[in-house]
Structure 1
Amino acid sequence: MTENPARAVLLAPFRARTWRDLAFVVLAVPLGGLVGLYLLIGFGIGLAMTPLLVGVPLVALVLLGGRVWGRVYRVLAAALLGVAVPEPPPFTPKPGLFGFLAGAFGDRSSWRALLFLLLQVALGAVLGWNVLLAVGLAGMLALSPLIWLLAEPVNVDARGVEHRSFIQFGEFYVDSWPRVLLVGAVGVLCCLAAPWLLRVTALLHGLLVRGLLAPTERDRAVAELAAKRRAAVDDSTATLRRLERDLHDGTQARLVTIAMALGRAEQRLDSGADAGELVTAAHAGTKEALVELRELVRGIHPPALELGLEAALETLAARCAVPVQLRCVLPVRPSPAIEAIAYFSVAELLTNVVKHSGTQAAAVRAHSDAETLVLTVRDEGRGGVLPPTVSEQPVGGLAGLAARARSVDGELTVVSPDGGPTVVTVTLPVAVPV
């Protein structure tokens, strides 16, 4: 609902936002002055000492110092202006002095911070000081009737005539109540306009913070690719560890048991005793080992996927411990890698439904178009499922599924109010992005 404009103007001086904007401008004025001294002294000394070669590392340090100043402004902007921007990529120089210098002078974030500081000298110190003067003058004019009432100001003009006045505009003296009240009314109007002047100034500061202190699109793309690579590596490492553990604890142990049974059977046969029981046990153990190996192979690449994702999801629905209503509309078959991610995502989500939801039924929906595959798993259970965060380590569960989806430019969303229902949606591209 849009606030009435007259009400917004009248209440603006009393809004918390106005006072936060004022606090930021008040802090920006001395900070802008300090930044100006920092740049003048730092670069001045550095450039003056460049012929001695000592100045080059000094200039590099001054340039990198812009990152520290940028952090200060980001903290202030987040606390007072509500402008929260992430940190730029960290400075990662190569080894050695020349590696450090090359990294410093090639650091795009430091150059952008330097440009921000130069603009802050003008915007923070110069413009901010004039804005504060205007706000202070507005407040003084608004309080002029009170000052007139409490004080006995006397001014003497050029002719030696005394005037009871504390404000003078050329030959015009504010020396009577009507004139004082007129000045006070002008001051009140200025006080009503001052919050909007502060808001525009704070808006300019916020635009500078977003434009020069936040990571660029290129930086965000690089960070996202690095996160996807870590997620893919962590996922493959976890899969290898699981396979190794399953082989070591399951199939390998069973094969050792079979070998021992066959060894005892051989000893009995050599002594002429009956070894039929041991051979039967070894035969049964061999069948169980084959079943376990099939399960391990299914965990790497489910055979059902050879017939397509729809057939694989039907297999999952049929094996689930609770009834699953399945609906698939897949006019475009996803790539094998996307099918595998989709299969394991639905398998993990159905496992969570059985273990944690307390429901007696679930529903799975899968549909695709030329570019996107969308999977939805819904249950009517107890709800209260927390969505995974990006910073959460993808060691399994929803965090692992989200990381696996992000590795191919997909995403996982969770809607789960207390009391249910829980709806988990996995959105994937039809093909792995290049």
Structure 2
Amino acid sequence: MPELRAARTVLTAPLTRRAWEEAAYCLLSFVPALVGFALIVVVAVALGSAFTLTVLGAVPGILFLVAGLALARGLGALQRQLARGLIGERVEEPPRFHSRGGLVARVEARLRDATAWRAVAYVLVKLPLATLGLYAVLWWVIGAINVTALVRWAAGQRDMALLHPLPGGGQPPVHSLGGAFAAAAVGCAILLVSPWLTRGVVAVDRRLVRALLGPGALAERLRDLEETRALAVDDAAQQLRRLERNLHDGAQVRLAALAMSLDMVREQLDDRDRPELHRLVETARDNAAETLTELRDLSRGLHPPALDGGLADALTTLAAKTALPVDVSVDVPNRPTPAIESLAYYCAAELLANVIKHSGARGCGIELSTGDGTLRLRVTDDGRGGAHIAEGGGLAGLVQRARTVDGELTVNSPHGGPTTVNVRLPLHA
């Protein structure tokens, strides 16, 4: 019956693992909350903001703020670990702090770090909440002490008091066995209430952790869009690869068979009897051969077969077919996703074609490596230089292709050479 289940839930609540974990969370999270409030809110933010209002204290004030924001991020990570380990609250990690440029740019980026400021807000609210949590843990302690009143009475202790966690009022003395029974009963009642107090504090803290220590709504939306884009890019790569196989195993085979059949027909025709039919068969055979060649070129553009063995084999094969000597260096321990491999191969092929057509180089090099979660492609040549990204040009098209997966392409090509083109792509689309 629902009433019996509810009564059993209330009576067994102090004995559950969840209740003890929530009480431990309230107890352990108080110290970082207190230290964080003192160092971040009082010292770093408040004192730093006050310093920035003065001329001489502007620089120290900014340094205080920067240090406080960095500390807030660290404290936020600690609170997420506590929540994950004790109460099972798993919150996604917010984006890591990244800054580029000089000292001023890095300081500005730190001051604009929304994740750090949300962590400061959490620290600001956490201290009064942690104080309530510590008060809830006090109920556990007082209840446990009162429950032992009978044991202490039996052990000969006659100078006891009935403790209660409510503010105000005194602690009634216990001088009799009946008073010991009453103290134990009050202790049991307090222990029955205590888990629900800690659970209420933890419930509020869960909401704060999700709202202030997670990635934030904008970051979550961005992550969803990135995941959706990655699925779309990978699906497109799989569809192209399936199309290439269908063309290779289906249409190309039939066209090859058709061309062979037309060759056999041509050999059996007599030019003296049916010259016009001979020319017609010859034209049809040539058209079939040209169509087969175009179809093969199209299927290679969809998914180069050389990529089945990885980028190292594909680039080596590409370099071997190039008219110029090409030095290939590949250091890719783990293969990227098929879509990224296809994009990197396409960029290398287009850049080599540009070298042959426009640079007048005597040789070139291809370097492929990974690091920091990115795939880096570098193509260099010793040509005349002067290459640049022009609207509507081939390099501009490569830039747009790289941007579809949050990659980038840069060109360094002074007049007189040499030319270096760097392509940076993520390992996963």
Q: TM-score, normalized by length of structure 1?
A: 0.53
Q: Which amino acid aligns with 1:183?
A: A
Q: Which amino acid aligns with 2:144?
A: G
Partner of 2:225: 225
CA contact (8 A) 1:74 1:213 kept: yes
- Offset of 1:196 from its aligned partner? 1.0
- Offset of 1:12 from its aligned partner? 0.7
- Offset of 1:49 from its aligned partner? 5.5
Partner of 2:187: 187
Partner of 1:283: 285
Partner of 1:386: none
Alignment of 1:279-318 (within 5 A): 283=285, 286=288, 289-290=291-292, 293=295
Distance 1:202 1:27 in 2: 12
Per-residue CA shift, 1:394-419, capped at 9, x if unaligned?
A: 769xxxxxxxxxxxxxxxxxxxxxxx
Q: Residues 247, 170 of structure 1: CA spacing in aligned structure 2 closer, same or farther, 3 A cutoff?
A: closer
CA contact (8 A) 1:140 1:187 kept: yes
Q: 1:100 aligns with which of 106, 124, 127?
A: 106
Distance 2:250 2:102 in 1: 51
Partner of 2:408: none
Partner of 1:70: 76
Gaps (5+ residues) in structure 2?
A: 163-168, 257-277, 303-335, 341-429
Partner of 2:324: none
Per-residue CA shift, 1:227-260, capped at 9, x if unaligned?
A: 333444455566678888999999999999xxxx
Partner of 2:197: 197
Per-residue CA shift, 1:349-392, capped at 9, x if unaligned?
A: xxxxxxxxxxxxxxxxxxxxxxxxxxxxxxxxxxxxxxxxxxx9
More displaced 10-residue stretch of structure 1: 185-194 or 93-102: 93-102
Partner of 1:9: 10
Distance 2:170 2:38 in 1: 38
Q: Is it true that 1:148 corresponds to 2:146 in the alignment? A: no
Partner of 2:160: 166
- Offset of 1:185 from its aligned partner? 0.6
Q: 2:139 aligns with which of 134, 140, 147?
A: 134
Q: 1:88 aligns with which of 83, 87, 94?
A: 94
Partner of 1:123: 129
CA contact (8 A) 1:251 1:289 kept: no
**Per the alignment, in what secondary structure is the counterpart of residue 54 of structure 1?**
helix
Per-residue CA shift, 1:273-326, capped at 9, x if unaligned?
A: xxx9xx98x9389359549839968x98xxxxxxxxxxxxxxxxxxxxxxxxxx
Distance 1:253 1:95 in 2: 56
Per-residue CA shift, 1:94-149, capped at 9, x if unaligned?
A: 4223322332222222221111111111111x212222222211111111111222
Q: Residues 242, 97 of structure 1: CA spacing in aligned structure 2 closer, same or farther, 3 A cutoff?
A: farther
Partner of 1:33: 34
Distance 2:245 2:94 in 1: 40
Q: Residues 221, 17 of structure 1: CA spacing in aligned structure 2 closer, same or farther, 3 A cutoff?
A: same
CA contact (8 A) 2:255 2:292 kept: no
Distance 1:24 1:183 in 2: 28
Quote the RMSD (CA, aligned, Å): 4.7
Distance 1:216 1:192 in 2: 37
Q: Is it true that 1:216 corresponds to 2:221 in the alignment? A: no
- Offset of 1:45 from its aligned partner? 5.7
Gaps (5+ residues) in structure 1?
A: 153-163, 257-275, 301-391, 397-434
